[in-house]
A and B are shown apart, each in its own frame.
Chain A
Amino acid sequence: MKELATIDWADAFSRLHPVLLHLPIGLFVTLIWLQLISVFKGLRAGARGARTGLVSLLMISTPAAAISGWLLNEGSKYPDPVDLHKWLGVGLAVFSLVLGWAHFRGSKAYTPLLWLGVVLVMATAHNGGTLTHGEGFLTDPWIEQEKPKQPKAPVAASTQAKDAGQGLPAATLTELATNDSPAAPQAPAAAVAAVPYEEVHSVMEDLCFRCHGERKQRGGLALHTVDAMLAGGDSGPALVFGDPDASLFLKLMRLPADHDDHMPPVKKTQPEPEEIALLERWVQTSSGQESFPSLVSEQPQAPEFAVEPGEDSFESEPAEPEEQEPAVPAQEEPAESPAGDETGTYFSSLVARQAHVQRVAPNSDSLWIDFSSSSLKPGELPGLLAPVSERVVELGLSRKALNEADLRFLGSLPALAKLDLRRTTLEASSGTGLDLTHLANSKSLRTLNLAGTALAPGSLDAIAKIENLQTVSLAGTGLESELPTLRERRPSLQINLGSVPREALEVEPEVKFERVSESE
């Protein structure tokens, strides 16, 4: 919480507008109801009694709603239609005071004034509702949706070509279409560079985020992160990867400027055709499986968190190309990969167990997970790692007790390249050591550390079968006698048994100093 002195009270009060405005609406409805039930004699006295309290509340709440609304409009530059709502609201506030005056004076004018007020409150409320929910919010379910007009050039091209080659990037498709030769050889999809989300973000930042961003979500819609776009607003998801026509944000941007639903609003900055094309290409070529950096808006107005100084200097920049992990191909489907908030929660849950989780490089989805300072019970591993099983490339399990289910799971991890099983034991060790049979079929495993882990007989056979294994540490596994066989079967496998001291090759003869010349 801020200290009281720092709070912008006007701003705080203005944000109560969406709450306050419902009070006059409800009060008018109630007052009308009291008026109606007064036809019954038995209820008349009670209704009259209730009226005084309600009218006095109306006299307070209507001006309050009007003032908060006025401030809200001052604080943010709503488009022009607010003008009407503003004056309707002010009028209603004044009207409520007049109505109150009529009530307390016992004037006969009260009843007609009340009915007039109802009309006024309906007008104001409907007008305000349209501002936040959009035109046609009420009527849409009743009337047939107006089909958006056929989009213009680039879209038409992409729609045409989509029939010819599903999933081809729009740029290629435009060419295809303009050449008017649908049989032309299709460029391989990989050849066309995907649009980096950073570019998309910077285009949209100027066009959209003022009303659909972190701070304000007109129509319940935010567009400043991919997740927010996918979640959408009152009219449903704004983004459907691979389908520009179904992506509402793009659809509305492509509507002709005179169309009622056109976005951004006519009076705002309008996108350049290239920008539309870029957004279109991004939607078309992204599968949604890429990792989209979450970019904080550069506008300093609402920093949610301050970042330590110096932090920015080592995120976001691309890593040295030659050191990068090979990027995960876009068409690959990490089926179980959790999305959105679940992922964050998931990682926190790992961290809460004292596991160390880290991406191996900024642009990589590959994970290094280390449980060595965590308390891991036998059999827990498959459940814990299932959501990221395809991303784990390095796993540390030293000094942990495992059971057969764990080992089978380890063997099934498709990307696991480096596995640390130092001094691990088998659950309730039944005399036999760790059985590695389940690892034999791993195609990805390259480095395996078994130092100090008692191994079950036959484990060396399993090790020999691990196709791409390059290095294995086997000191203290109790299988030293079987090593020659392993060496024979896998001559190129590097078997680490520790470093053996070597005798000196030669020793200098006794040191003799020769005084070649004397000097003072």
Chain B
Amino acid sequence: MQDRDQNPDPLRTRELLVNRRHFFGVGAGALGGVSSALGQLSLGSLMLGGSAKAASDGNLGALPARTHFPAKAKRVIYLQMSGAPSQLDLLDYKPGLRKHFDQDLPESVRNGQRLTGMTSGQTRFPVAPSMFRFSRYANNQDGAWLSELLPHTGSLAHELCIVRSMHTDAINHEPAITFFQTGSQIPGRPSFGSWCSYGLGSSNENLPAFVVLISQGVGNMQALSERFWGSGFLDGKHAGCKIRSGANPVLYLKDQAGIERKDRRRMLDLVGELNEAEEARSFDPEVATRIAQGEMAYRMQMSVPELVDLSDESEATMEMYGPNVRKPGTFAANCLLARRLAERGVRFIQLYQRGWDAHGNLPSEIRQQAQLVDQPQAALLRDLAQRGLLEDTLVVWGGEFGRTVYSQGTLTETNYGRDHHPRAFSMWMAGGGIQPGIVYGQTDDFGYNIVENPVSVHDLQATMLHQLGFDHERLTYRHMGRDFRLTDVEGRVLKELLVS
């Protein structure tokens, strides 16, 4: 209740915590039983259904609705291109630039915009047109132009909603990704996936609602902080769970040699008792999280091996994703895993592909980077579509910002670099009730400024939440005396992009 933050009376706080403990007791009762999911879910339902009283009353009010209105998308697969791919070489076709090769970017275009320290010292800003050929693919409008680097993705242009008018406030990787993921450049807010987990809960109690998969790139790789998928001030159990490649997909999940599953059960029961005693003493909500996570891990010991075992995938499917799919930890393997997670009811699947930060040698780096993602991401879309999953899975692809039209460093006909560019860049979405086969928004002739239909990060988040069944202004969490939202105080649902 609100009082906890607003009312500093320690007795009142204590009373609330006592009740809170009572509240967790509902879950704890069943934890030791055969079906620990009962406790988990009844707990989840209490939290998500709003009033706990409603749950105890037993009529239909007991059942959480979770969403504000019927959802178009049941889950999100977010393909985050870490480092920020160049929109000019992939999605934002600017053939006119070819005539301006190596000319100075007109000051009227840049208009005094701030630059990063990496190019602010440059004496000139020569225009670097893309050296890649573009092709026009059929969509539901007059076609979409995509670069030769994305032939597979292009061939599915009729499924994509390409947004060429994204803009962000941040100019460096860390705050920009933080902004995209949490709605704020300043760390500490919950990640999108955590909001999803908080709002929607899982539809599979054996897997976390928010899963993170990371693949390495070939280009310049920026660090990925774990807090990108952190739960901020939400309960720790809403944090993203990273699934790794190799023998231990989830760290510390495997039992040590000689430990049997029943031993693990007994250990969990005992530790659970101690934790409960500690919680009774300290009222620390993190202890409750700890108990829940222990139980989740116990269930994941069964569900994760089945998840990562690809032996039931057909040869045709594997082939569709390309040769890398057999190498665990690649983007291809992660895309396949994402589809398997989607099938199993995971709500938010966050992939990171590192290596897009091409300040120099962009042509060679982006060629290899694109090769890593193009076929697998197209295969993911096709795989989802043929399983009838694309209609309620929202796939989002994009970096944290764009790249400059002018070259960073030396510009030659076969080599150039591009610096960070937050003012205009491209992303795409597919499925989940987003209109397929359209291109939205437009940039100027230099691809530098947006001239039509700008889309802010908060707009994108509001739209995604809308598809998940949430009014972004009402999915809130009270913390430190105010209600927080993913979209902070902004965001507009882009109704024009939605399937009516």
- Give the B-binding residues of A (Cβ under 8 A): 2, 6, 225-227, 291-294, 296, 300, 303-317, 319-320, 323-325, 339-345, 347-348, 351-354, 356-362, 364-365, 367, 370, 372-373, 398, 420, 422, 449, 451-452, 471, 473, 475-476, 496-499, 501-520
Contact = CB atoms under 8 A, between A and B. Distances in A.
Given A309-B479, A364-B65, A422-B388, A498 B382 contact: yes
B119 interface: no
A274 B199 CA distance: 40
Contact of B57 (A316, A342, A344, A420): A344
Interface in B212-266: 235
Interface of B: 1-5, 14, 16-20, 22-23, 35, 37-38, 41-42, 45-47, 49-71, 95, 98-104, 124, 126, 129-138, 143, 151-152, 154-159, 199, 203-207, 235, 343-345, 378, 381-382, 385-388, 390-391, 413, 469-471, 474-479, 483-484
Contact of B390 (A292, A497, A499): A499
Contacts of A451: 386-388
- Give 8 nearest A-B pairs by CB, closest first: A315-B50, A498-B386, A344-B58, A473-B388, A323-B69, A501-B155, A310-B477, A305-B52
B155 A502 contact: yes
A351 B42 contact: yes
A498 B390 CA distance: 9
Nearest to B430: A499
B437 to A, nearest CB: 10
Contacts of A313: 474-478, 483
B163 to A, nearest CB: 20
Contacts of B134: 508
Given A305-B19, A505-B143, A294 B159 contact: no
Given A351-B42, A361-B67, A513-B98, A314 B59 contact: no
Contact of B53 (A304, A347, A514): A304
Given A305-B22, A310-B477, A343-B62, 6 more contacts: A307-B51, A309-B4, A313-B483, A314-B68, A367-B63, A517-B103
Contacts of A312: 1-2, 50-51
19 contacts: A225-B57, A291-B60, A303-B1, A310-B476, A313-B483, A315-B49, A317-B474, A341-B58, A343-B58, A344-B56, A359-B60, A364-B70, A373-B206, A473-B388, A502-B138, A511-B131, A511-B132, A513-B98, A520-B124
B478 A309 contact: yes
Given A311-B47, A352-B37, A499-B156, A373 B388 contact: no
Chain B contact surface mostly: mixed
Given A292-B59, A317-B474, A449 B50 contact: no
Given A361-B65, A496-B385, A501 B133 contact: no
Nearest to B62: A344
Contacts of B137: 502, 504-505
Contacts of B14: 6
Contacts of B474: 313-314, 317
A513 B416 CA distance: 13
B75 to A, nearest CB: 12
A471 B390 CA distance: 13
A340 B386 contact: no
Contacts of A341: 58
A44 B191 CA distance: 84
B4 A319 contact: no
A309 B478 CA distance: 5
B203 A311 contact: no
Given A311-B50, A315-B50, A373-B203, A359 B65 contact: yes
A305 B53 contact: yes
Contacts of A514: 98-99, 101
Nearest to A373: B204
A325 B70 contact: yes
Contacts of B17: 306
A294 B57 contact: yes
Contacts of A348: 38, 42
B365 to A, nearest CB: 18
A511 B101 CA distance: 12
Nearest to A337: B60
B37 A519 contact: no
Contacts of A344: 55-59, 62
B61 A499 contact: no
B385 A358 contact: no
B69 A320 contact: yes
Given A314-B199, A320-B68, A320-B471, A398 B343 contact: yes
B65 A505 contact: no
Contacts of A512: 98
B464 to A, nearest CB: 16
A310 B62 CA distance: 18
Contacts of A359: 60, 63-66
A315 B388 contact: no
A294 B154 contact: no
A501 B59 contact: no
B474 to A, nearest CB: 5
A311 B52 CA distance: 10
A306 B17 CA distance: 8
B155 A504 contact: yes
Contacts of A317: 68, 474
Nearest to B16: A306
A266 B233 CA distance: 51
Given A296-B51, A344-B55, A323 B70 contact: yes
Nearest to B38: A352
A130 B9 CA distance: 41
A434 B99 CA distance: 61
Contact of A291 (B61, B66, B124): B61
Given A343-B60, A422-B388, A370 B203 contact: yes
Given A304-B52, A498-B385, A504-B137, A310 B103 contact: no
Contacts of B205: 354, 373
B68 A516 contact: no
Contacts of A422: 343, 387-388
* Max chain B C-beta neighbours (<10 A), residue from A303, A358, A510: A358
Contacts of A347: 62-63
A227 B59 contact: yes
A316 B388 contact: no
A503 B155 CA distance: 6
A357 B48 CA distance: 13
A372 B345 contact: yes
Contacts of A504: 135-137, 151, 154-155
A325 B469 CA distance: 12
A519 B103 contact: yes
B227 to A, nearest CB: 20
A364 B67 CA distance: 11
Contact of A340 (B58, B100, B378, B479): B58
Contacts of B155: 501-504
Contacts of A519: 102-104, 124, 126
Contacts of A508: 95, 133-135
B50 A345 contact: no
B388 A420 contact: yes
A504 B22 CA distance: 62
Contacts of B156: 499, 501-502
B195 to A, nearest CB: 11
A362 B58 contact: no
A502 B146 CA distance: 13
Given A309-B478, A508-B95, A294 B64 contact: no
A516 to B, nearest CB: 6
Contacts of B207: 373
